[in-house]
Structure formats: structure tokens, C-alpha cells
A and B are shown apart, each in its own frame.
Chain A
Amino acid sequence: MNLLGRSLLDIPDLTHDEILFLLDETQKLKAKSGKESPELSSSSGKSLALIFFEPSTRTRSSFEMAAFRLGLRVLNLDATSSSATKGETIYDTARNVEALRPHGMVIRHGGSGIPLQISKLINVPVINAGDGFHAHPTQALLDAFTIREKFSKLQGLKVLIVGDISHSRVARSGFQIFKMLGIKVTVCGPPTLIPPFATELGVEVKYDLDEALPLADVVMVLRMQIERQNSFQIPSLKEYTARFGITTERLDKIKKDSLIMHPGPVNRGIEMMSAVLRDPRCRVMDQVQNGVLMRTVLLREILGVGL
């Protein structure tokens, strides 16, 4: 498996075998890591630039932690405030960061396709940490890993993705990785938040959550992107929660032997109630932990650093 020097922009950048390799390596690293906070490597002699054009806490910290484990020096560029306001284009920002000579770049941007466009301009590997409504490949990898931890056989497994599918890069990358792994995907949400041609994207569409929940092996709840809603998409958050929220009552409809996941951050009381987070089937904290491990493996392979 050779990922050295390659960019990861979208799930189809990886072959089926490469995905399995990343899952296996993450498993090995997890077995080795134990429960304690891991020892950090001393300097690997390499650096990683994190350019976030859109605010992020979770993904950024996850990449930072992964980089620390590998002894990578991290350059953090909060591009939400710096260059854009001075009139510099994102492409110039990226070229400028490249001129600082990092060994890799992790990019998040609110516009779909931006990491891809940047990767065409520069000569260091680019890892997409989420672009617009398009892709979030590292999230898809860590989700696949979290599912495989629980279910050794993925073929034929049923994942239900609930929420605002239209504006979700997590869902889009999920569709792709789950399809490659033989997992069946059903989406559930108000029709106004289901992307057009969803069936052609290879997923089943259901509008009745109570009917869909009992069939799912994995329930992936998406964050309600409140900032992206307008009054023409859903009548109110209250109505959304009533129809599509994972309420305490709905917990009973979910299989005993299932997983409940959420990419975070959770809007408690909107897409899921606090009680759901306490439910033993809910693996949100595992996802966070697995995210660091998965990203550690990915950075290790792409940048060719130790561990």
C-alpha cells in the first residue's frame, strides 16, 4: 500500500484495498495504544499546515492530536479571519502557505471543490478536512472504522442516516465509503433536505423515521445545520425534532444490538436528546477517539513519518 505523497480529497481517491488497509492499521494502532493518553513522538522533522477557512473545533483538534503523536510540527492558519478580509484569494493563501514549505496541508473550506482546486495548484499532498456539501473523507473513514469495530462483517449491514442530507458532506462521503464496503444506506429526513437524485446516488429514501429505525444496524444522526436552514425548508426546529429527532421514546425502536453515531457537535434537544448520548449504543465519544487514530495512520502513510 503506498499512500506516500498522495492527496486525499474524496473517498474515490482510495481503492477498496487501501480503505481496508487504513482500517486495519487503525485497528493495530488502537490495540497498541491502550486507554492511557499516548506518548507523543519527538520531532519527526516534518511539518503539517492546517488551513481552516471555515470554523472547526473537532476536526482541527483531531488532526492536531494526530500530528502531535507523529511528532509533526503544526502550523495553524485560521483563514476564517486573516487573508480573506485583506482581499487575498484562497488560491493565493494556499500558494503562500506552500511557499512556507510544509510537508502536507490539511484544508477545510465552506465551498465545495476548493481542496481539489488547491491540490491542482500546489505540490504538497492535500488532505480534505471537509469542503462545502461535497466531501469529508476522514470522517467517512473513521465512521467506517467505528462501525467495523462493532460489526466484523460489513457486507449487507444497514446504515440509516438521519437529518439534513442535502447540506451534508459527511453523508456524501459516507454514501461512497459504505457502498465500497457493501453496506446498504437509507436516508431519512424531510423531503426538502434530501438531495435530488438521491436514489441515483445509491441510497434508499424514507420519510418516516419510526418505520426506518427498527431496520437499522447503525443509526447515524447528522447535525442539524441550523445556520443553513431557512424558513422554506422546515417549518420549525420543534417540528423537525418531533418528526426526525432521536427522542427518548424512539430509542426503544432502535435495535438492541446497534450503534448510534453522530459526527458532532451535537445540538442536544434538536436532533437527539441528552438521554440518547448516555445510551450504551451511542458511540459518539468512540468516534472522536477513533478519529485521532485514523488521522494518525493517514498522516503517517501520506507523509511517511514514524510510529
Chain B
Amino acid sequence: MTTSFKNAILFDPSQRLKEKGSVVVEGGKIVDVLIDKNADSGKIVDLKGQYLFPGFIDLHVHFREPGQEYKETIGTGTRAAAAGGFTTVCCMPNTNPVNDSSFVTQYIMEKVKQQGVVRVYPIGAISKNLDGQSMAAIHGMIQSGCVALSDDGKCVMNAYLMRKTMEYLKSYDIPVIEHCEDEHLVGKGCMNEGLVSSQIGLRGIPHAAEDVIVSRDISLSAHTDGRLHIAHLSSKNSVESISHGKARGLKVTGEVTPHHLLLTDESLRSYDTSFKMAPPLRTEADRRALVSALQSGVIDCIATDHAPHSEEDKDVEFEAASNGVVGLETAFSVCYKLVERKELTFERLVESLTSSAARIFKFSDRGQIKKGFLADFAIADLNRPGKIDSSTFQSKSRNTPFNGWDVKAQITSTVVGGEEIFNIEKGICL
């Protein structure tokens, strides 16, 4: 079946593409890209001058299945992805049981087949049961579909295990992703260590907790020539380390979350657990450094670290509340604020949600508007004022720090393999 998406602004910064035009889709793939022309073959979808981007790619989500289906499932998680314009997502292994073997990977893949509305790729654990002690069953996981390895949620504290994992993964050419937080330096901390923590009396986590692990892992990457991807960067010093690593030609990449790009520890003054996550929100100086590193390419991509938690997990004492926020449904709208404030270019925003992310996991068939690529699109209206309302989320969970924010740019439609799976008016279309 042929479908033509016409009357769009085709926007793909990786090719410096910003033109009025159409995309023709057949068999789930792009078969033609027409500039300044309206396609007229097959089913016609008139985008009425809206932006058409490659479908967004999120290298870092938590879908909680198996084991914590009360927080999220692959069904609800992928619906949340669809509502945010994400067509490819990679889910972290800290489920219960942990995704540390081909059995769990296959279970996830089966659930994706049954319930997934977007493309899902699991990330396998580095260590068995995330214990940080011994390697998980790596080969089976990769054979079953894992695209990277990580103990995310936990830092690999044993440098020897990290070294050996980097070496082992060279035979597969997939990256290891590190959650950089030295657990001893984190201690009982629950927010950034700084003036705010000193004033409001919550135990702090110094940025050095991240910095030391980023530096350590970059050294290991240099030593092993292994591929290292740093998850959810939060500190200015870490950004500098990555910058140096890249300048040395190392295989180091990094991601940053929308919340670290937009919020600081000042938000913690309310003691609202919607602002509690790991790593914590840091200072304005850190935030600025993250945004400018994203702009310059030192940080490669935006990843949401979508971390759903139930009300019961969050509506407790600050110290006892679970870490994490949901992010898939708000990422584009809130990050567009950085464009409005002229902190980030529109080109770089879209690139960091698409082609830059694709490159890290070597997804060679997506992230660009190109003949032969997957017909996965995010369609946006940049002038559609609205308010973020967590009660309307597709996600099972509501733990967003952005509730009530006024936004201007919104995802209006999401297309996977040429089929519209989300529409802002109709919701999920199946």
C-alpha cells in the first residue's frame, strides 16, 4: 500500500533538509522524497504545513515489564512514546527479573510483539541481577535482540568488571552504557549537594559522584578502545571530561535528559518528589553547560530516562521516594522551550532526538528522511499552545516535573512504518 504525506515541512538537520514537500511511503519504508511538490499516489495525508521529522529515538526508557507492571507496561510505555513522537525506544534492564539473560530478553520481545505500538529494543544487563559482581549472559541477550548493555539505575562500581565488559563487547560492536554515580559518594544523598541542599536540609549528592565515574570510564575506554555511552549527564565537569575524551578520538558518547536541560535544584525547595531523580537536578551553571554541550555536539543526544512510578512510590517522605520522572510525552514540547529561549537551535534539537541518537546505537535505517529508510515520523505543530496535563498521559504513571507547564510546540501525529499510530485529536490509533 502506498501512502503520501503531503504539504509538510520536511525537516532533517542531518541532511540540512528544511523544505516544503512530500514523502511517499510503501511497505513501511520511504520510497520517495519530493521537494516543493505534492505527492498524489495512494492514500493522501495532508499535513497542512506542519513539520515532519524522522521519528524520534530514545535510547533510555524504563518500561517496568516484567515485574512492575503497576508502574508501566510495554503497552502503556510504547503508547506514551507514540504520544511524544518517539518511534524507537530502548528499554533498560532493571526489571524484575532483571534482563540479564536471553529468556528475559525474549519475554520482552514477545510482549513488544503483542502490545508494542512503537519499535522497542531491549538493553541487557552488564552484571547478573545487576549485582555488579559478574558478567550477565551477554551472548544470548545480544542474539535475542539487545542493542547495548547497562546496569542503569546502578553504577558499575567495580572498574575491573567495567574494563572487561568494554573489552568483551568489542566482538559485537555495541556500546556499554554507564549510570555514572559513585555509590559511596551518593551515600544517603537525595538531591544535589549545594547551597539549596544546605538550606533545605536534605542530604546532598556532590557532582563529583558523577565526575569520578565519567573520568574513570573514559580512561577505561581509552585503555580498551571500547565503546562507552554515558547516560543522563548532569554535571558541568562530566561534560568537560567527555569533551576531552572526544578530542582524543575516543569512542565516547553522551546523552542528556529534558529535565536536566530545563530544571535545577532550585525546584527542590518545594520538597516535591516529582523533582527527585538520579542523578539529581543540579545548579544553573550545570544546566547551562549541559545545554551548550548539547548544542556543540559534545553531548550527542537527548534521552528521556522515562522512569514511571506509581503515586504510592512517590507520595512519601522525600528521602523515601523513588527516583525518576516520566518523560516521553513531554520531551519535545518542553525542550522546544530551549529553542524559544534561544539557548538551543531548532536544528540541533531535532537532530539530537533523531539522527544523532541513531548513530550511537548504529541504527542505520532510521533517524533520517531518506529513500529506503523506515517510514517513521514525528509530526509537530510549532504553534499550538497547550498545557501539560499529566492526567491525560498515555503512561500509567503521572510523575512529571512539568505538570501545568504552558507549551507552544506539540507533537500532533506519530507514524510508524507508514501507519499513523498517534494523533493528538484521536489519541492512539490502532
> Using a CB–CB distance below 8 Å, which chain A residues touch chain B?
89-91, 109, 111-114, 116-117, 131-135, 169, 172, 195-198, 200-201
Give complex CA distance A89, B195 in Å.
29
**Across-interface contacts of A198 in B (CB, < 8 A):** 198
Known: A197-B195, A200-B195. A133 touches B315 (CB 8 A): no
Question: Would you list 7 pairs from A and B whose C-beta atoms are within 8 A, ordered by A residue?
Answer: A109-B317, A111-B317, A117-B271, A196-B194, A196-B195, A196-B197, A201-B199
Known: A89-B315, A134-B200, A196-B204. A112 touches B271 (CB 8 A): yes
Give complex CA distance A163, B365 in Å.
62
Nearest-neighbour CB distance to chain B for A158, whole angstroms, equals 22
B201 is contacted by which of A117, A172, A200 (Cβ under 8 Å)? A172
Are B316 and A112 touching (Cβ within 8 A)?
no
Are A113 and B318 touching (Cβ within 8 A)?
yes
**Across-interface contacts of A133 in B (CB, < 8 A):** 201-203
B193 is contacted by which of A113, A172, A196 (Cβ under 8 Å)? A196
Are B316 and A89 touching (Cβ within 8 A)?
yes
Give residues of chain B (316-374) contacting chain A, Cβ–Cβ below 8 Å: 316-320
Are B317 and A90 touching (Cβ within 8 A)?
yes
**Across-interface contacts of B198 in A (CB, < 8 A):** 195-198, 200-201
**Across-interface contacts of B319 in A (CB, < 8 A):** 111
Give complex CA distance A62, B382 in Å.
60
Give complex CA distance A169, B200 in Å.
10
Given contacts A113-B202, A200-B198, 4 further A-B contacts (CB under 8 A): A112-B202, A113-B271, A114-B317, A197-B198
Nearest-neighbour CB distance to chain B for A108, whole angstroms, equals 13
Nearest-neighbour CB distance to chain A for B276, whole angstroms, equals 12
Residue of A nearest to B206 (CB): A196
Give complex CA distance A91, B316 in Å.
8
**Across-interface contacts of B320 in A (CB, < 8 A):** 111
Are A113 and B316 touching (Cβ within 8 A)?
no
> Using a CB–CB distance below 8 Å, which chain B residues touch chain A?
193-195, 197-204, 206, 271, 315-320
Give complex CA distance A211, B40 in Å.
87
A90 is contacted by which of B194, B200, B271, B316 (Cβ under 8 Å)? B316
Known: A112-B200, A134-B201. A91 touches B315 (CB 8 A): yes
**Across-interface contacts of A196 in B (CB, < 8 A):** 193-195, 197-198, 204, 206
Give complex CA distance A140, B203 in Å.
22
Nearest-neighbour CB distance to chain B for A194, whole angstroms, equals 10
List the 10 closest A-B pairs by CB distance, nearest first: A134-B201, A113-B271, A133-B201, A112-B201, A111-B317, A195-B198, A197-B195, A197-B198, A132-B201, A200-B195
**Across-interface contacts of A200 in B (CB, < 8 A):** 195, 198
Known: A89-B316, A196-B193. A116 touches B204 (CB 8 A): no
A111 is contacted by which of B194, B315, B318 (Cβ under 8 Å)? B318
**Across-interface contacts of A91 in B (CB, < 8 A):** 315-316
**Across-interface contacts of A117 in B (CB, < 8 A):** 271
Residue of A nearest to B269 (CB): A113
Known: A116-B271, A196-B193, A197-B194. A135 touches B317 (CB 8 A): no
Are B193 and A112 touching (Cβ within 8 A)?
no
Give complex CA distance A113, B319 in Å.
10
Identify which of A90, A112, A195, A196 gathers the most chain B CB atoms within 10 Å of its CB.
Answer: A112
Nearest-neighbour CB distance to chain A for B284, whole angstroms, equals 14
Nearest-neighbour CB distance to chain A for B59, whole angstroms, equals 33
Give complex CA distance A201, B203 in Å.
16
**Across-interface contacts of A134 in B (CB, < 8 A):** 200-202
**Across-interface contacts of A89 in B (CB, < 8 A):** 315-316
Give complex CA distance A131, B202 in Å.
10
A135 is contacted by which of B194, B201, B315, B316 (Cβ under 8 Å)? B201
**Across-interface contacts of A135 in B (CB, < 8 A):** 201
Nearest-neighbour CB distance to chain B for A189, whole angstroms, equals 14
Give complex CA distance A131, B198 in Å.
14
**Across-interface contacts of A131 in B (CB, < 8 A):** 201
**Across-interface contacts of A113 in B (CB, < 8 A):** 200-202, 271, 318
**Across-interface contacts of B203 in A (CB, < 8 A):** 133
Residue of B nearest to A201 (CB): B198
Give complex CA distance A111, B271 in Å.
10
Give complex CA distance A132, B197 in Å.
12
**Across-interface contacts of B193 in A (CB, < 8 A):** 196
Are A112 and B318 touching (Cβ within 8 A)?
yes
Give complex CA distance A133, B203 in Å.
8
**Across-interface contacts of B202 in A (CB, < 8 A):** 112-113, 132-134
Give complex CA distance A196, B203 in Å.
11
Nearest-neighbour CB distance to chain A for B182, whole angstroms, equals 14
**Across-interface contacts of A116 in B (CB, < 8 A):** 271
Residue of A nearest to B320 (CB): A111
Identify which of B198, B203, B206, B316 gathers the most chain A CB atoms within 10 Å of its CB.
Answer: B198
Residue of B nearest to A168 (CB): B201
